[in-house]
Amino acid sequence: MRLKRNGSYTLNRKSKGKPNGKKPAPEEKKLYLEPEYTKSRITDFEFKELVMLPREIDLNEWLASNTTTFFHHINLQYSTISEFCTGESCQTMAVCNTQYYWYDERGKKIKCTAPQYVDFVMSSVQKLVTDEDVFPTKYGKEFPNSFESLVKKICKYLFHVLAHIYSSHFKETLALELHGHLNTLYTHFILFIREFNLVDPKETTIMDDLTEVLCTSSGSSSNGSGNGSSGSSSGNSAAAQNHVKER
């Protein structure tokens, strides 16, 4: 079964002490962890059920449909704060104290600003999801053997973008009253990548504090590990099947 791929949401280390003996600067308080904000969602739906593979759907079709949808929503979410994410305000692609670098097609490491990094991510993902040889939409067209590895790479980069929004632009998101949308998107995305082991847990550790708060109450185990099995279709619900029909 070919799934229509489009969106379904409505957008309404501590530093070491210096030799001079001065104490290190206190770690900045993470606003996005404040209970009054983490409780905000645009839906109370059980996302753990929503990400499970429906019995009648091919695994690659499910990965393709969801990955494409997440790409569009994360791109849209970033666009709401993009005017605040500039080369001056975000001189590196950073999340907390971790800095990310882009690697070009030859594997060359590129240090870039956050907006440049996000542009690289969105441009490369857009190219992949619109390539019929990679994300086929026509009946009978096969997915490439490298499909799952490409999905994993896409999800890793999309996670970086989401984490950067929280780390560097949550105040702007809050001012726009879009934190409920961001929390909902993050929860759905994290539970999806856990369900199919799409991103190395070491990669997402940097946001474990937020994940613990948002995802534990959304059907995820508290130790941060999903079942990682594509054979979870035996637990399909009518809700998950309805989700397929909406795409």
Query: Which parts are annotated binding residues for Zn(2+)?
Result: 85, 90, 164, 169
User: What does the block give as tokens for 223?
Assistant: 């130790």
Residue 118's nearest CA partner among 149, 64, 77, 174 is: 77
As a dihedral over the C-alpha atoms of residue 106, residue 108, residue 91, residue 177, rounded to 10 degrees, the angle is 40
Q: What is the CA radius of gyration of the chain?
A: 19
Strands 93-95 and 98-100: antiparallel
Q: Which segments within 45-135 are labelled E, that is strand?
A: 93-95, 98-100, 102-103, 109-110
- For 199-244, give the DSSP string: S-HHHHGGGHHHHHHHHHTTT--TTS-----TTGGGG--HHHHHHH
Cα–Cα dist 229/118, whole Å: 30
Q: What are phi and psi of 9, to 5 degrees?
A: -85, 160
| Of the candidates 134, 125, 113, 149, the residue with the CA atom closest to the CA atom of residue 72 | 125
Residue 156 tokens read as 């890793």
Q: Quick one: DSSP state of residue 42? A: S
**Binding site: which residues?**
85, 90, 164, 169
